[in-house]
Amino acid sequence: MEWDKEASLRLEKIPVFVRRLARSKIEKHASAKGKSVVAVEDVEGAKASFMGTGSDKSTINANPFSLDTKAGEDKFEILKRSDEYEEEDGYPAMYHIDICRGEDVDCPFLIAEIKGVSQKIKDRLREVEFSKKLIKRIDGKILPHQRLKIAIASCPNCCSMPQIRDFGLHVRAKVYVDENFACNGCGNCLRACKEGAIRITGMSNESKVEASEGNSGQPENKERVVTINYDRCVHCGLCAEVCPTGTIKTEKKCFRVMIGGKLGRHPIFAEDLINFADESEVLNALDVCVEAILNEKREKRFGELVKKIGIEEFKKRLRDKNNISQKNVNNEEAVHSGINN
């Protein structure tokens, strides 16, 4: 949707970390009024709708976070006003999953498709009756922020912002150097790496400059050794894609799992729970988080719960969960082996 100049200037004043959400809500507000161009009054109208303030008569008392006890007896009425409201099995879904649009727009940075793992997360939450159990624990009317916020991204660019969600994932292409394949000094990896995580020894400073400018940068009669600084590397896999010799490869596609992120008055970045997880470990991590939420005696924001319990305790619980899962797999394999024999 197009924006006029004054409305665009107003949008730029909104903090960048919520600008995408604000833009979506404002455009939805303008579209509902049959407009094709967003004007400044639409910005103000959307603000009035969201905050329950302002002069937009159509939105007075529409504050989605209102605690007005006279508003009705429906425990879910405030939740239903949220744009993200969904139902499953007759209950409001007490979680929301954001995924990036990489699969739909043929994103050049996409590492792997994520709609499959998103569906598996939904299936697991339904299987353990997360929504039903959480609703029973909450006294009074349920608010949108009481849902579990989940975000999944198909690469480390993290367009769906998993770093500020309760449970966040992004795909990684774990990279490594294969010493069986000699580097030819082309410099493609140096140019592709946005983090400056790659170093090639055996190239003179002059050669490195030439490589960064697109020339071969090859020194004569010198062995070139490629190293990756993993403190900087985000495992996007771009270096492996442009390496013509196979010196840099991707080992596997996996997930980084982060928990406990949030915005609000005191924003917190999510903490790393697993650096390289397969789908089964992702689901185990989700189970550990769900158990922590449902076993907490006093309902609170998940970010606060992570802070209270501590990330190391979550990691310990996850290790125990993974060990039990592995034992079950081994037992199943032993049973199948015995049957086949």
Q: Which of 246, 262, 285 lies at the terminal end of a domain, its last residue?
A: 246
Q: Do the domain assignments include residue 67?
A: no
Q: Are residues 266 and 149 in the same domain?
A: yes
Q: Are residues 238 and 267 in the same domain?
A: no
What are the b/e assignments for 47-85, b being 16+ CB within 10 Å?
bbbbeeeeebeebeeebbeeeeeeeeeeeeebbeebeeb
Q: Do the domain assignments include residue 66?
A: no
Q: Do the domain assignments include residue 68?
A: no
Q: Are residues 224 and 272 in the same domain?
A: no
The confidence score (pLDDT) of residue 212 equals 53
Q: Are residues 224 and 309 in the same domain?
A: no
- What's the pLDDT tens digit per position in 54-99? 444 444 344 433 334 444 568 888 888 888 889 888 889 999 999 9
Distance, in Å, from the CA atom of 176 to the CA atom of 251, rounded to the nearest integer, reads 7
User: Which pTM value belongs to this model?
Assistant: 0.71
Q: Are residues 158 and 192 in the same domain?
A: no
- What's the pLDDT tens digit per position in 109-127? 999 999 999 999 999 999 9
At 133, is the secondary structure helix, strand, or coil? helix
Q: Do the domain assignments include residue 143?
A: yes
**Domain harbouring 217, CATH code:** 3.30.70.20
**Domain harbouring 12, CATH code:** 1.10.8.550
Q: Do the domain assignments include residue 281?
A: yes
**Cβ burial, residue 192 (10 Å; 0-12/13-18/19+):** middle
Distance, in Å, from the CA atom of 114 to the CA atom of 159, rounded to the nearest integer, reads 13
CB atoms within 10 A of CB 126: 15
Which residue has better confidence, 55 or 261?
261
Q: Are residues 263 and 122 in the same domain?
A: yes
Q: Are residues 325 and 185 in the same domain?
A: no
Q: Do the domain assignments include residue 70?
A: no
| pLDDT exceeds 70 at position 183 | yes
Domain extent, residue 52, equals: 2-59
Q: In the chain, how many domains are there?
A: 3
Q: Are residues 84 and 204 in the same domain?
A: no
- What's the pLDDT tens digit per position in 132-176? 999 998 888 898 889 999 999 999 999 999 999 999 999 999 999
Average pLDDT, the chain: 85
The confidence score (pLDDT) of residue 330 equals 67
Q: Are residues 266 and 165 in the same domain?
A: yes
Q: Are residues 110 and 207 in the same domain?
A: no
Q: Are residues 30 and 160 in the same domain?
A: no
- What's the pLDDT tens digit per position in 283-319? 999 999 999 999 988 877 899 999 999 999 999 999 9
At 40, is the secondary structure helix, strand, or coil? helix
Distance, in Å, from the CA atom of 123 to the CA atom of 128, rounded to the nearest integer, reads 9
At 6, is the secondary structure helix, strand, or coil? helix
- What's the pLDDT tens digit per position in 15-55? 777 788 888 889 888 888 888 899 988 888 887 766 544 44
**Domain harbouring 113, CATH code:** 3.30.413.10
The confidence score (pLDDT) of residue 58 equals 43
